[in-house]
Structure 1
Amino acid sequence: MGNALRFLCEKCFRPRTSEGGHGIDALGRDLFHFENTGQVPEGLSQHVEASKKTQATWYTKILVAWKEDPANNAEEAAILIVKTLQKHHKVNVEGLLAFYGLPDPAAIVQAPEEFPQKRPEGVKYELHTLPVAPKAVADGDTITVYVDTKNPRESAEVPISVQKATIQRREARARGDYARADAIQKQITDAEYRVFDASRNGEDILARKYRIRLRGVDTPESKMPYGKEAKEALLNLVEGKCLRILAYEKDRYGRTVADVYSGDVFVQEFLLRNGWGWHYTDYDKRPQLSQ
């Protein structure tokens, strides 16, 4: 448990410095921090002429746009900011981009059709995960992921019993009754949720568990020939990453059939092109994956 918590903290919840930079990852962390605290980044005022109140207005608008269609790379992030803040002073927009080390807007506007990519037909919803732990990959086509319930879609679906159990567990830990806290954690886990302790600014994270079945690809089982290699290939792609998941449906085992993106990499396509699996047509008929 301790290693898993340190893993989460180190990968996605590092504190920001005041110097800015670090691109899309820093922007994502700052939006997450703003959503939870209402605070804009330290040091931003050195790059823009606007007041803290105006900066907060920017982040509110950017956060809404980000939730509707999250950016996957620096170019998409820059376009999102430019479009969202198009009615604000150009010098401030450019200062905000410079703070994160994002591309110049003038260079991006020349090719707006490339970003952002549209969701494929049939996608029912989109998930953004916490960092994937090493033990989360069962084989070459199945991953267990966790999604923060602070996400608006998730927060509305948390059962009352899980909410109460989370409070009871926190109270048990506060009075040092760790046996009781562990027992409550099991209740939460049985409900397909999990509490990660002190993972966000010293606060606990309640996350929902999803078992993901990669759509359109089948790989050997772990104990079959090349099964171990296929599992390692997937693990190398997703370990420690916050994944973007486009969900389509449930399979007969209750897993979420989905497209998975690790950064800019379309995971299924990578596995197929490198020979770690074959096209599985039960849930997918896309010709580009059958080639």
Structure 2
Amino acid sequence: MGNALRFLYSRCCKPTTAGGSHGVSTTDDGVSALSHDLFQFDTTSQVPEGLSNHVVSSKKAQANWYRKLLDAWREAKPPPKTPEEASRFVVQTLKRHQKADVEGLLAYYGLPHQPSASCPTSSSQVVKFELQTLPVDLKAVPDGDTITVYVSTTDPRESANLPRQVRLAADQRSKARAAKNYTKADELHKKITDSGYRVLNLQNQEILARKYRIRLRGIDAPESSMPYGKEAKAELVKLIQGKCLSVVVYDEDRYGRCVGDIYCDGKFVQEVLLKKGLAWHYSAYDNRVELENWEKEARAKRVGLWASTNPEKPWEWRKNKRQRVAQIKLL
């Protein structure tokens, strides 16, 4: 092993015992854990067991990443010492690899997400937290601006906040299934889902995950029964189905949904929908100039809903629908 890696590991990078399956309780611990795993890989040529829960590529591909990271770490002068430095180090070293894998690796170590260069500048709102999701299911997309995602409880942030009763129910369910007591297992899973969690089966492995409903920040897509409503949903499905997402959460709406920006395979999802004329810039709640310009670009090209002369705004459509329902109730 290179002296730089051995020195940093021995001085400051002992792995912690708190937190998720990797033992990472904070992003600072993530730097230590990364160094520890590189030390282990140099000795055993084995990648961490829990990594496959966060990435989509094979163990063989993972070994290739660690080989590259190890070589780059040895050459780094000095090697990364902060979460931000470690995150940039991983992204730069693995820039030719799948975005989902790089983001999954960052999530595994609890390192901060590095958004793409095309990411729009934020408005005055402050980021509350970031999510690195498991692959998105087709059924998780009800329309063009809302999705349901799941985050593994092995994620450091989730592990630190996992309710004790959910953890116990998950353990008891596993034992019930092993004993082939599926009735009891189903009852325990209902307790888990009622608490906002779910046990997912991914690649023949059960993963306890937390459920999040996400409202795409800054856009308003046509409702399903409106013109281009089905097209907006189809485009969103095409962008994210089966993919791991990075979600930057800014707020929570009155329906309990997280309001955030969605990134997938290096793309800013709201940008794609706006440029294809499948969503409006929701300027009443978001003042970012980039989103306004992407809508103007689609209008000028008359693509998507802008092929119509005067398309109805979704928020006006919803308001009119509420008024019609209120009138019917009065009759």
Which residue of the partner structure matches residue 91 of structure 2? 76
Helix, strand or coil at the partner of 1:281: coil
Q: How do residues 233-248 of structure 1 correspond to structure 2 at under 5 angstroms?
A: 233-248=235-250
The 8 Å contact of residues 153 and 210 in structure 2, kept in 1 or not, is answered as: yes
- Residue identity in the other structure for 2:93: A
- Residue identity in the other structure for 2:215: R
The 8 Å contact of residues 76 and 116 in structure 1, kept in 2 or not, is answered as: no
The 8 Å contact of residues 145 and 209 in structure 1, kept in 2 or not, is answered as: yes
Which residue of the partner structure matches residue 289 of structure 2? 287
Distance 1:246 1:115, change over 3 A: closer
Which residue of the partner structure matches residue 92 of structure 1? none
CA RMSD in angstroms, aligned pairs only: 3.9
Distance 1:79 1:267, change over 3 A: same
The 8 Å contact of residues 262 and 269 in structure 2, kept in 1 or not, is answered as: yes
Which residue of the partner structure matches residue 269 of structure 2? 267
In the alignment, is residue 148 of structure 1 matched against residue 162 of structure 2?
A: no
In the alignment, is residue 178 of structure 1 matched against residue 182 of structure 2?
A: yes
Query: What are structure 1's unaligned runs of at least 5 residues?
Result: 1-29, 81-96, 103-113
User: 1:163-191 CA deviation, whole Å, 9 max, x = no partner?
Assistant: 11101111110100111111211111111
Structure 1 position 76, deviation (Å): 3.1
Q: How many residues align?
A: 216
Which residue of the partner structure matches residue 194 of structure 2? 190
The 8 Å contact of residues 124 and 247 in structure 1, kept in 2 or not, is answered as: yes
Structure 1 position 221, deviation (Å): 1.1
| TM-score (normalizing by structure 2) | 0.56
Which residue of the partner structure matches residue 48 of structure 2? 34
Residues 209-218 or 181-190, more deviating: 181-190
The 8 Å contact of residues 134 and 152 in structure 2, kept in 1 or not, is answered as: yes
CA distance in 1, matches of 2:85, 2:159: 14
Q: Which runs of 4+ in 1 moved over 6 A?
A: none
- Residue identity in the other structure for 1:262: C
In the alignment, is residue 122 of structure 1 matched against residue 126 of structure 2?
A: yes
The 8 Å contact of residues 279 and 290 in structure 1, kept in 2 or not, is answered as: yes
Q: How do residues 201-212 of structure 1 correspond to structure 2 at under 5 angstroms?
A: 203-212=205-214
1:249 to 248, 251, 254: 251
Helix, strand or coil at the partner of 1:138: coil
CA distance in 2, matches of 1:208, 1:151: 10
Which residue of the partner structure matches residue 306 of structure 2? none
State the structure with bigger RCO (CA 8 A, min sep 6), 1 or 2.
1
User: 1:178-230 CA deviation, whole Å, 9 max, x = no partner?
Assistant: 11111211111111100124x36x64211000000000000111122211111
Distance 1:278 1:68, change over 3 A: farther
User: 1:122-175 CA deviation, whole Å, 9 max, x = no partner?
Assistant: 212111110000111010000000001101001011111111110111111010
Equivalent pairs: percent with the same residue? 46
- Residue identity in the other structure for 1:169: R
The 8 Å contact of residues 136 and 240 in structure 2, kept in 1 or not, is answered as: yes
Which residue of the partner structure matches residue 10 of structure 1? none
The 8 Å contact of residues 247 and 263 in structure 2, kept in 1 or not, is answered as: yes
The 8 Å contact of residues 76 and 115 in structure 1, kept in 2 or not, is answered as: no
Distance 1:70 1:139, change over 3 A: farther
Q: Rg larger in 1 or in 2?
A: 2
Distance 1:68 1:191, change over 3 A: farther
CA distance in 2, matches of 1:165, 1:241: 28
CA distance in 2, matches of 1:257, 1:68: 28
Which residue of the partner structure matches residue 218 of structure 2? 216
- Residue identity in the other structure for 1:156: A
Structure 1 position 67, deviation (Å): 11
| TM-score (normalizing by structure 1) | 0.63
CA distance in 2, matches of 1:154, 1:252: 23
Q: How do residues 35-184 of structure 1 correspond to structure 2 at under 5 angstroms?
A: 36=50, 65=83, 69=87, 76-78=91-93, 117=117, 120=122, 122-184=126-188
Helix, strand or coil at the partner of 1:139: coil
